[in-house]
């Protein structure tokens, strides 16, 4: 089995040399082929890579972009696997073997990425080291601690991405409409998810990433503008901003009892929170999600996903089937959340739990404009125009009658409030207290953005 390593270059010769030197040091040459695609460098890179033995070189006269360059590499590749690697990286001991082990743990595993010092999302390792002199010792110690540990995710970043060639043939190459870069890897991951493949991080594979070297070398590219434009292209292509459905909610997962075996995730999106749970504990996940694209993605790792209206669906499960039901930012969108709680609770096992998150309408984001006579609905946030019901930390418990539920935990997430607004609310509190109104927690409560609850069924 051979892996084709595809590297794109655009100037930054010294970074390219360091990358290639690390591959030479930490990779078995018999198990790889090296393909370098140059996008019109002018700093000696073209002459250097052309002089290298046993390397396939593709020289473009101008910068054709990341997606096009990678696709050229794919066409030239003869390996069983494809590994897309930025030239501003430095690989470390066992990097490729660790990722290959994860890639072939299952037929349905389609893509694998390493952890790194500079990457977005779950692949990021914070405060890794202060200088490259510490890289080798840090990586060896870290990877030994994380040996054979993996994490299933929805998104892998293309700075170092390992893919089975058969998977790439199934889902198709990079979409070249994304040009110089940004969102072409998100698009590739989404296509893999649609086909039922899983994405994994090999936590015992560490690759140093310098970050944005190509954009730095090309002063004609405005990285922020490119990001905005390609995000719009991504949204238009898929008919929605799919990233909305892929954000995990670790604070929700943390509230789910660790002994819960069957879990219903109401409004599961693409199942990102479910992945958090599966990475933490063995469990069967079931979902309800109205959006077809998100529901399709969730089906890849849920036992079943019903594409139905939460308030209208007839659940095809026996009473007492679930140990936990999750309502993450769902109840405020419903016409009658009280009836929904009552109906769904019949599907809870004895002492089963409901976990929910609900926005706090008394946060300053809504409260302060209201005091000024403004109640303007928005596309997101507490005044999301799709919200139908509103709750405070005190009134949220009306959803869970004392005769049926026992509140086991009520916690909060906070969003900063402008100091001037805080001062204004403090003054209101003082005036209210002077008039003997029972107002004591207004400034503190105005910082609470979301209310998190875990309740246990008592009868």
Average pLDDT over residues 154-164: 96
Rounded to 5, what percent of the chain is helix, strand, coil?
A: 40, 25, 35
Q: Which two tokens stand for residue 314?
A: 């007839």
Q: Which two tokens stand for residue 247?
A: 């954000």
Could you read off the pLDDT of 375-397 as tens digits, one per residue? Answer: 999 988 999 999 999 999 999 99
Report the share of the chain in percent with pLDDT over 90. 84
CATH number of the domain within which 374 lies: 3.40.50.150
Rounded Cα–Cα distance for residues 285 and 276 (Å):
11
Rounded Cα–Cα distance for residues 263 and 182 (Å):
35
Which of residues 238, 271, 305 is at a domain's end?
Answer: 238
Average pLDDT over residues 391-410: 95
Could you read off the pLDDT of 246-272 as tens digits, one per residue? Answer: 888 999 999 999 999 999 999 999 999
CATH number of the domain within which 52 lies: 3.90.550.10
User: Quick check: 127 pLDDT over 90?
Assistant: no
Could you read off the pLDDT of 51-81 as tens digits, one per residue? Answer: 999 999 999 999 999 999 999 999 999 999 9
- For residues 256 and 231, membership in a common domain is answered with no
User: Quick check: 144 pLDDT over 70?
Assistant: yes
Which range is least confidently modeled, 238-247, 262-271, 443-452? Answer: 238-247
Average pLDDT over residues 175-192: 92
User: Quick check: 218 pLDDT over 90?
Assistant: no
Average pLDDT over residues 73-91: 97
- For residues 155 and 110, membership in a common domain is answered with yes
Element (H, E) at 37: strand 32-39
Q: Is 407 helix (H, G, I), strand (E, B) or coil?
A: strand
Which of residues 216, 238, 260 is at a domain's end?
Answer: 238
**Contact assessment for residue 96 and residue 186, using Cβ atoms and an 8 Å cutoff:** no
Average pLDDT over residues 280-292: 95
- For residues 95 and 127, membership in a common domain is answered with yes
pLDDT-derived band at 9, boundaries 50, 70, 90? very high
- For residues 232 and 257, membership in a common domain is answered with no
Average confidence score pLDDT of the chain: 93
| Domain count of the fold of the chain | 2
Which of residues 214, 238, 262 is at a domain's end?
Answer: 238
Rounded Cα–Cα distance for residues 226 and 22 (Å):
30
Q: How many CB atoms lie within 10 A of CB 233?
A: 18
**Contact assessment for residue 398 and residue 337, using Cβ atoms and an 8 Å cutoff:** no
Phi, psi of 187 (to 5 degrees): -65, -45
- For residues 259 and 170, membership in a common domain is answered with no
- For residues 204 and 290, membership in a common domain is answered with no
- For residues 234 and 254, membership in a common domain is answered with no
User: Quick check: 84 pLDDT over 70?
Assistant: yes
pTM: 0.84
* pLDDT at res. 212: 64
Average pLDDT over residues 76-103: 97
* pLDDT at res. 430: 85
* pLDDT at res. 413: 95
User: Quick check: 213 pLDDT over 80?
Assistant: no
- For residues 9 and 145, membership in a common domain is answered with yes
Average pLDDT over residues 364-370: 92
* pLDDT at res. 443: 83
- For residues 278 and 339, membership in a common domain is answered with yes
- For residues 203 and 263, membership in a common domain is answered with no
Average pLDDT over residues 338-359: 96
* pLDDT at res. 221: 67
**Domain residues for 168?**
3-238
Rounded Cα–Cα distance for residues 432 and 410 (Å):
27
- For residues 309 and 288, membership in a common domain is answered with yes
User: Quick check: 216 pLDDT over 80?
Assistant: no
Tell me how far CA of residue 456 lies from CA of 207, 322, 350, 353, 357, in angstroms: 44, 12, 9, 4, 15
User: Quick check: 214 pLDDT over 60?
Assistant: no
- For residues 29 and 9, membership in a common domain is answered with yes
User: Quick check: 219 pLDDT over 80?
Assistant: no
């Amino acid at each position: 089995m051979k892996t084709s390593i595809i590297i794109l270059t655009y100037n930054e010769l010294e970074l390219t040399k360091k990358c290639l030197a690390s591959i030479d040091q930490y990779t078995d040459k018999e198990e790889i082929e090296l393909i370098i695609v140059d996008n019109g460098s002018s700093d000696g890179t073209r002459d250097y890579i052309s002089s290298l033995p046993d390397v396939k070189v593709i020289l473009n006269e101008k910068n054709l972009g990341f997606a096009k360059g990678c696709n050229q590499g794919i066409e030239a590749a003869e390996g069983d696997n494809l590994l897309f690697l930025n030239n501003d990286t430095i690989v470390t001991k066992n990097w490729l073997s660790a990722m290959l082990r994860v890639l072939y743990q299952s037929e349905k595993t389609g893509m694998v990425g390493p952890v790194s010092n500079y990457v977005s999302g779950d692949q990021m390792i914070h405060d890794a080291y202060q200088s490259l002199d510490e890289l080798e010792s840090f990586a060896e110690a870290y990877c030994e601690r994380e040996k054979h540990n993996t994490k299933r995710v929805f998104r892998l970043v293309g700075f170092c991405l390992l893919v089975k060639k058969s998977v790439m043939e199934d889902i198709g190459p990079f979409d070249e409409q994304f040009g110089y870069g940004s969102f072409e890897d998100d698009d590739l991951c989404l296509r893999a998810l649609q086909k039922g493949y899983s994405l994994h991080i090999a936590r015992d594979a560490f690759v140093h990433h310098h970050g944005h070297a190509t954009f730095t070398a090309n002063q004609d590219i405005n990285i922020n503008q490119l990001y905005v434009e390609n995000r719009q292209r991504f949204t238009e292509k898929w008919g929605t901003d799919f990233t909305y459905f892929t954000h995990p909610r670790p604070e929700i997962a943390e509230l789910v009892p660790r002994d819960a075996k069957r879990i219903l995730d109401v409004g599961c999106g693409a199942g990102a929170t479910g992945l958090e749970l599966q990475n933490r504990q063995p469990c069967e996940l079931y979902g309800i999600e109205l959006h077809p694209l998100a529901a399709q993605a969730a089906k890849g790792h849920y036992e079943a996903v019903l594409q139905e209206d939460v308030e209208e669906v007839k659940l095809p499960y026996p009473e007492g089937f679930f140990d936990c039901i999750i309502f993450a930012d769902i109840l405020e969108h419903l016409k009658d959340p009280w009836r929904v709680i009552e109906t769904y609770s019949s599907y809870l096992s004895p002492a089963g739990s409901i976990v929910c998150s609900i926005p706090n309408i008394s946060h300053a984001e809504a409260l302060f404009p209201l005091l000024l006579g403004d109640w303007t609905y928005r596309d997101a946030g507490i005044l999301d125009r799709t919200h139908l019901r509103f709750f405070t930390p005190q009134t949220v418990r009306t959803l869970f009658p004392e005769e049926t539920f026992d509140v086991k935990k009520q916690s909060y997430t906070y969003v900063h409030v402008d100091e001037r607004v805080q001062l204004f609310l403090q003054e209101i509190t003082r005036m209210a207290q002077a008039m003997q109104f029972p107002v004591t927690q207004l400034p503190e409560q105005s910082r609470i953005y979301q209310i998190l609850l875990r309740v246990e069924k008592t009868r």
